[in-house]
A and B are shown apart, each in its own frame.
Chain A
Amino acid sequence: MKNLISMRDLSKDEILHLMDIAGEIEKGNIVPDMQRKLAALLFFEPSTRTMFSFDTAMKRMNGNTVIMSGTKNTSAQKGESFADTLLTIAQYADIIIMRSPIEGSSRYAAEVVDIPVVNAGDGANQHPTQALLDLYSIVKTQGTLENLTIGLAGDLRFGRTVHSLAQAMALFGAKFKFFSPSFLQMPSYIKDDLAEKNIQFEECPELDGNLDDLDILYVTRVQRERFADPEEYEKARGSYILRKSMLDGVKDNLRVMHPLPRVDEIHTDVDVTQYAYYFQQAKNGVYTRQAIISILMGEV
């Protein structure tokens, strides 16, 4: 693996290898050493959480980072081509980790520079490190990725996280339940992909009463700005807010995940239950990103 651009590039074996390395890093059995290594974090659109997670991952391995956040006061604003910006940064750094609203920008970056490139999100397209940290969280809590029943809730239409997760879990024979307002349903191209792979899925009208067979419930934010009518928003979101009372009778191994930031789609009364896993999930992101960087830099 030279770059990490898209989940579509990864085989099942590569995913499992990455999970193993993340696990060994977490247990302290592998201690990657990035001393004198420099990661350039190019965040052409702000994302504090993802940026912090990568920064932490690099520094936990004694590595260093240089950070560019936004495009203000950069050469891009002065009219420099994207390729020139990348080629210059590649002279300084050992790895480029980039987020951009431009779709396909990481793929292009990997073609332009000869150091590894990690896609930390390219518009509505891919966010593979989020998908991998989600998979790591699933394997850590369930002991396997095979044959699990996964509920995906919230904005399934625009949420790139749930798209990547659905596609990745399809490699492992998952069964899906989708919970979303009707106009934020999983897009047909994802459903077609799943159907082609004989993956079972069903669309459920609401969370309450439909959680008993789930191993994972992955909740995402339903954004107010997606709704033309504020009344519709108020009506819709009520059906997709997870409350502690809805968790009576669920499987013991159920874990509730969320990519964060959360607004109110998971009530805080869920936080104290054994099922809440979203903050540990964020911590898993650091181990997963350490594993990704180490593999790409040839350190493990």
Chain B
Amino acid sequence: MKPVKLIKVNAIKNGTVIDHIPAGKVLKVVDLVNLTGENSVMIGMNLTSAKLGRKDIIKIENRVLSADEVNVIAMLAPEASLIIIKDFAVVSKQQLTIPREIDGLIVCPNPKCITNIEGIKSRFTLSSEDKKIVRCAYCEKKYEIDDVEMIV
């Protein structure tokens, strides 16, 4: 008898799948990416994964994410992959990478930074990809991505 492959999260016809989100991070992703509206969203948590051991996944029907949304997800979960689905088939799959220049997506944690005092758009550069460290282009302070507040 053919082994039955159980799909724990339903397949979608068209839309975006964010796969290989490290387990436990999906709610943070959901929090930052605007998922309200007409589209169906499926979330899988703590699924078994050959690559990560355990993983989270999001499937969003009939929606392609904006570049900013993809960049935010890349910062939260650079291990994740972004899959675009058309007619139940994978049309593209890309490994996320943290952008070198991060415009307007991070709140600088430094209260003395001009971006907080004058309310101007923040700008960060990726200082270390391995250590996930970014540097504010204005006050020049360095922060770990996991410690900063993000905005979309």
- A residues near B (Cβ < 8 Å) are 6, 8, 81-83, 101-105, 107-108, 122-126, 189
Answer whether A124 and B118 are a contact pair too, CB < 8 Å, given A103-B138, A108-B138, A189-B142: no
- B residues near A (Cβ < 8 Å) are 110, 112-115, 117-118, 120, 136-142
Q: Return A8 CB to nearest CB of chain B, in Å.
A: 7
Given A105-B114, A108-B120, 4 further pairs, Cβ under 8 A: A102-B113, A104-B140, A123-B139, A125-B141
Is there contact, CB below 8 Å, between A126 and B112? no
Is there contact, CB below 8 Å, between B114 and A81? no
Interface of B is mostly: loop
Is there contact, CB below 8 Å, between B118 and A125? no
Is there contact, CB below 8 Å, between B114 and A126? no
A-B residue pairs, 4 tightest by C-beta: A104-B138, A103-B139, A104-B114, A104-B139
> How many Å lie between the Cα of A83 and that of B140 in the bound state?
20
Give the residues in chain A near B142, CB-CB below 8 Å: 189
Is there contact, CB below 8 Å, between B112 and A107? no
Is there contact, CB below 8 Å, between B114 and A108? yes
Give the residues in chain A near B139, CB-CB below 8 Å: 103-104, 122-123, 125
Is there contact, CB below 8 Å, between A102 and B117? yes
Q: Which residue of B lies closest to A193 (CB)?
A: B142
Q: Return B102 CB to nearest CB of chain A, in Å.
A: 15
> How many Å lie between the Cα of A102 and that of B111 in the bound state?
9
Among A8, A82, A103, A108, point to the contact of B110 (Cβ < 8 A): A103
Q: Return A65 CB to nearest CB of chain B, in Å.
A: 24
Is there contact, CB below 8 Å, between B140 and A126? yes
Is there contact, CB below 8 Å, between B138 and A107? yes
Give the residues in chain A near B117, CB-CB below 8 Å: 102
> How many Å lie between the Cα of A82 and that of B142 in the bound state?
25
> How many Å lie between the Cα of A102 and that of B136 in the bound state?
14
Is there contact, CB below 8 Å, between A103 and B114? yes
Among A8, A83, A124, A189, point to the contact of B112 (Cβ < 8 A): A124
**In the complex, which of the residues B114, B137, B139, B142 has the most CB atoms of chain A within 10 Å of its own CB atom?**
B114
